[in-house]
Amino acid sequence: MNEANTLTAEKYGVVSASKIIGEAVINRQNENLGKINELVFDARSGRLAYAVLSFGGFLGMGNKMFAMPWGAFEFSSTENKLILNVDKEKLKSAPGFDSSAKWPDFADRTWGTGIHTYYGTDPYWKV
């Protein structure tokens, strides 16, 4: 893909996963909330379900992971950052998991409903 086509695709919201993984995440108060560690797709529907956010720790040690509903993110129009409308304190007390522990079952709709409820988003499978 040539540079003009790449810019056009990104302008209209079509972005490769490799550009999102590792991307910085901020909230509306411009506080750093971490980085995108992984993307989780629903293979049956072909939809992006969750972004796994890495937050906290120091030099990568002690980071807590959070499955964030993809619908909770916005792309910044001025920077290469994702915006998440979540207060830093709410994120600190959010349900999360350790990167080295067993990850949640992302296909579990009961678990997913709880995550979507916590962040005030509609479950992607109901939209």
Strand, helix or coil at 113?
Answer: helix
Q: Mind listing the pLDDT tens digit of every residue in the chain (127 residues)?
A: 444 444 444 555 677 888 899 999 999 999 999 999 999 999 999 999 999 999 876 555 567 899 999 999 998 877 778 999 898 888 888 999 988 888 999 999 999 999 999 999 999 999 8
**Domains along the chain?**
19-119 (2.30.30.240)
Calpha distance 116→16 (Å, rounded): 24
Tell me the pTM. Answer: 0.83
Cβ proximity of 32 and 24 under 8 Å: yes
